[in-house]
A and B are shown apart, each in its own frame.
Chain A
Amino acid sequence: MTMTVRSVQKSISHIILLIYVIVILYPFLFVLFSSVKSDNQAIASNPFGFPSSFHFENYYEAWVNAKISVYFLNSLYIATLCSIATIVFAAMASFAITRMRFWKLSKGMYQFILIGMLIPSNALLLPIFIMLMDAGILDTHLALIIPYTAGAIPLNVIILSAFMRSIPSELEEAAVMDGLSAKGVFAKIIFPLTIPALVTVFILNFIGNWNEFLLANFFISTDELRTLPVGMVGFRDTYNTNYAQMSAGIVYSVVPVMIIYAVLQKQIIEGLTAGSIKG
């Protein structure tokens, strides 16, 4: 009897969870179907079903009109560059803080950087906007590259410091005995050992930069310089009445992320959740 109660319970669990999964995934399916329907009328008359005819020209038109390729490359290079720059800088700082023999100063530095976690990023939007205007780099990619690189610093330093603290000190002591300089210890011993944490942090930074909207929306106005999220919203605002084409645009911006997620899901989930807990 208990067996049946348990199996009924299990089935109910599965039913509830499957409904939840459908709620999460169905909107994507809806968009996928809509993207090959002929027009708004076709979507309205047969909203849930499989398309009756396939209109792949929507994809061509969205590609041309939405300039997805331009935005995509902008996002890709900015997100990659900034993610790498941040982890390199943060790793250097974390090394100095956790491994070099300036304990008191390092403790102060660490606390100082920790304050950054308390400052709400959107409150800084206007002051940073004005600062970038003063420097004359507003509406260039630098207006995103530098703030993105800087913005992830506190979290990266916290995570990497935590990781580096757990590396036993015997290792570098031996290395120093062998005549390695501090730079050598960093480059040859600590950095390689930190790679798992660096990968996590890289993914964290990359997804954050890839998806960033607020700064990109306000700091960049030249169409060719836009990143994918802002470009997509602009596309929506200009071609908002053609839902089939808009759906095709959404598919373009979702698919690459889906593929990366499918391949790297374990690392991505670990990276994102670890990042938030440490923060």
Chain B
Amino acid sequence: MRKSLLLIVLSVILVATTAISSVGAATKSITIKVRHTQLGESKQQRLNILNDVLKKVQKEVPGVQFKLDGVDSDVNRKEKLRSEMVINNPPPIFDLFGGSDTQLYVQAGRLLDLTPILKELGLQNKFISLGEFTVNGKVYGLPIGGYQEGYFYNKEYFKAKNLKIPQTLEDLEKLADSIKKDGKTPFAQASKAAWVPLMAANTLWARYAGPDISAGFSTGKTKWNSPEMVAAFNKYADWVKKGYFKEGELGLEYAEQRNQLIRGEAAMMYDGSWASSVFADPKQAGDLTNKIGYFPMPKVSNGKGSQTAVNGGFSNGYGFSAKVKKDKKQMAVIKSFIKNMYNDEMQIRGLEADGVLPSMKVDAGKLAKAKVSDLVKEIIAVGNKSSGAFPAFDSLVQPDVNTALSEGIQKLIGGKITAKAMLDGVQKVQAEANSADD
């Protein structure tokens, strides 16, 4: 009632004010909006892949037009898509994160159940893991690739200074000290967006407190301010104090961290495998093209649980609006999109062009023939040697907790708070969020 009244009033104004307005001309063929996050130079290859897939879909489903809507990944995840979900008006095809995001949207009935489509296309067993996109046994999203996080390092510099890949955290610190003494920044970092420093922190606390700890926060089984967590963040704060990071990095955008490595200012960088493509592109990596190596977060003596687990998974991909179900043509487009996007060819193309780890069980023979850089091979090797992968904390906890920890890590880097006080605060928010969920 209220809505319709509002609509009538607004449309009256609309007619009155904006006869000139050029918005929203209806067309005969359907137009489907695709929300992607492939913006900027470093993601150009991924955008090309998307475009090629859409072209194929257009051939299979005549009369369909696509409208590409590129939004920054973080903005899309935290603001844009979230608000669209609230009003039940997401684009038909959109970039989606697994874990808590997917769960929330499924609860609200916003996501299209893909289980029947996967069955129809024979894809149900083709993915390595759909766990992050599965709710109550049904699949609501498809990961476009896998990722893994670890340390990228300047191989030439390590060779010139005779530095070795660290096996323990003590080794890593000694390494950092010697790099620091040499007048360079040990770790490249750019923390204007808090998820960047939280990558290294996440694995560090998994080493201290065990890789499974993060899953227990939202159930109340584990606590943010447990002694192991405090020890991990104290270590992090210690690194900040020792000057292992560039001064002023709190004000720098994410892209700037790889530039610190590329410019030779910094010797190591903690980042996700998605960054590898930059180091294969002479336009972006300059003199350091193909001269970057990769090693995992080393083990912590007395650390709990597996010391070789990597932060990795299959958490980012595409989801589809539940609303398309009503429209046959849109459903046909979605099916065609899935068919053309998720196959061996595109997986290998993503790996070759961009270093995106496959999310599907690609034919081993084809995979072996794929032309990939040494860096990507190193990353895959680290993954194979690990005891397993654990998901990033932000796919496991409520958004409030993520916000609280994001503020917290920046304060910690800024020297405004101790690790203990910060984690006490996060735990308080966690407890509130947990009780609100019941």
Residue ranges of A at the interface with B (Cβ–Cβ < 8 Å): 77, 81, 85, 129, 131, 133-138, 140-142, 145-146, 149, 218, 221-223, 234, 237-241
Q: A240-B255, A240-B256 are in contact. Are A221 and B23 (CB under 8 A)?
A: no
A-B residue pairs, 3 tightest by C-beta: A133-B87, A238-B40, A240-B253
The range of chain B's interface size is: 20 to 34
Partner of B21, one of A145, A223, A234, A239: A145
Q: Do residues A142 and B83 form an inter-chain contact, with CB atoms below 8 A?
A: no
Q: Do residues A134 and B89 form an inter-chain contact, with CB atoms below 8 A?
A: no
What's the least CB distance linking B50 to chain A, in Å? 15
Q: Do residues A140 and B24 form an inter-chain contact, with CB atoms below 8 A?
A: yes
Using a CB-CB cutoff of 8 Å, which residues 230-262 of chain B contact chain A? 253, 255-256, 259
**Complex contacts, A221 vs chain B, CB 8 Å:** 69, 71, 75-76, 80
What are 26 A-B contacts defined by CB distance under 8 Å? Answer: A81-B18, A131-B6, A133-B83, A133-B86, A134-B6, A135-B3, A135-B6, A135-B7, A136-B7, A137-B10, A138-B83, A138-B84, A140-B23, A141-B21, A142-B23, A145-B17, A146-B13, A146-B14, A221-B69, A221-B71, A221-B75, A221-B80, A222-B67, A237-B253, A239-B41, A240-B253
Q: Do residues B24 and A223 form an inter-chain contact, with CB atoms below 8 A?
A: no
B303 within 8 A of A: no
What's the least CB distance linking A242 to chain B, in Å? 9
Q: A81-B20, A221-B80 are in contact. Are A237 and B13 (CB under 8 A)?
A: no
B72 within 8 A of A: yes
B108 within 8 A of A: no
In the complex, which residue of chain B has the Cβ closest to the Cβ of A141?
B23
CA distance A31 to B40 in the complex (A): 22
What's the least CB distance linking A24 to chain B, in Å? 24
In the complex, which residue of chain B has the Cβ closest to the Cβ of A136?
B89
**Complex contacts, A141 vs chain B, CB 8 Å:** 21-23
In the complex, which residue of chain A has the Cβ closest to the Cβ of B72?
A237
Number of A-B contacts (CB under 8 A): 71
B70 within 8 A of A: yes
Q: A134-B6, A135-B10 are in contact. Are A129 and B83 (CB under 8 A)?
A: yes
What's the least CB distance linking B18 to chain A, in Å? 6
Q: Do residues A223 and B87 form an inter-chain contact, with CB atoms below 8 A?
A: no
CA distance A77 to B20 in the complex (A): 10
Using a CB-CB cutoff of 8 Å, which residues 11-31 of chain B contact chain A? 13-14, 17-18, 20-24
B421 within 8 A of A: no
What's the least CB distance linking B273 to chain A, in Å? 21
**Complex contacts, B121 vs chain A, CB 8 Å:** none
Q: Do residues B17 and A238 form an inter-chain contact, with CB atoms below 8 A?
A: no
CA distance A149 to B16 in the complex (A): 12
B381 within 8 A of A: no
B370 within 8 A of A: no
Q: Do residues A145 and B18 form an inter-chain contact, with CB atoms below 8 A?
A: yes
B39 within 8 A of A: yes
**Complex contacts, A142 vs chain B, CB 8 Å:** 14, 18, 21, 23
Using a CB-CB cutoff of 8 Å, which residues 130-172 of chain B contact chain A? none
What's the least CB distance linking A140 to chain B, in Å? 5
**Complex contacts, A133 vs chain B, CB 8 Å:** 83, 86-87, 89
**Complex contacts, A149 vs chain B, CB 8 Å:** 17
CA distance A273 to B18 in the complex (A): 30
CA distance A240 to B255 in the complex (A): 8
Partner of A146, one of B17, B20, B69: B17
**Complex contacts, B256 vs chain A, CB 8 Å:** 240-241
**Complex contacts, B41 vs chain A, CB 8 Å:** 239
CA distance A99 to B253 in the complex (A): 57
Q: Do residues B255 and A134 form an inter-chain contact, with CB atoms below 8 A?
A: no
What's the least CB distance linking A177 to chain B, in Å? 32
In the complex, which residue of chain A has the Cβ closest to the Cβ of B17?
A85
**Complex contacts, B83 vs chain A, CB 8 Å:** 129, 133, 138
Q: A221-B80, A238-B39, A240-B253 are in contact. Are A134 and B87 (CB under 8 A)?
A: yes
What's the least CB distance linking B404 to chain A, in Å? 21
CA distance A105 to B18 in the complex (A): 30
**Complex contacts, B20 vs chain A, CB 8 Å:** 77, 81
CA distance A135 to B22 in the complex (A): 18
What's the least CB distance linking A239 to chain B, in Å? 7
What's the least CB distance linking B12 to chain A, in Å? 11
- Pick from A133, A138, A149, A221 the residue with the most CB of B within 10 Å: A221
**Complex contacts, A241 vs chain B, CB 8 Å:** 253, 255-256, 259
Using a CB-CB cutoff of 8 Å, which residues 365-418 of chain B contact chain A? none
Known: A81-B17, A81-B20, A221-B80. 11 other contacts (CB 8 A): A133-B87, A133-B89, A137-B10, A138-B83, A145-B18, A221-B69, A223-B71, A241-B253, A241-B255, A241-B256, A241-B259
What's the least CB distance linking A237 to chain B, in Å? 6
In the complex, which residue of chain B has the Cβ closest to the Cβ of A134?
B3
**Complex contacts, A237 vs chain B, CB 8 Å:** 72, 253
CA distance A201 to B369 in the complex (A): 68
CA distance A136 to B6 in the complex (A): 11
CA distance A81 to B13 in the complex (A): 14
- Pick from B10, B17, B86, B259 the residue with the most CB of A within 10 Å: B17
What's the least CB distance linking B156 to chain A, in Å? 20
**Complex contacts, A238 vs chain B, CB 8 Å:** 39-40, 72
**Complex contacts, A134 vs chain B, CB 8 Å:** 3, 6, 87
**Complex contacts, B76 vs chain A, CB 8 Å:** 221
In the complex, which residue of chain A has the Cβ closest to the Cβ of B80?
A221
In the complex, which residue of chain A has the Cβ closest to the Cβ of B18?
A145
What's the least CB distance linking A90 to chain B, in Å? 13
In the complex, which residue of chain B has the Cβ closest to the Cβ of A219?
B83
In the complex, which residue of chain B has the Cβ closest to the Cβ of A234?
B72
CA distance A131 to B10 in the complex (A): 10
In the complex, which residue of chain B has the Cβ closest to the Cβ of A78?
B21
CA distance A227 to B256 in the complex (A): 26
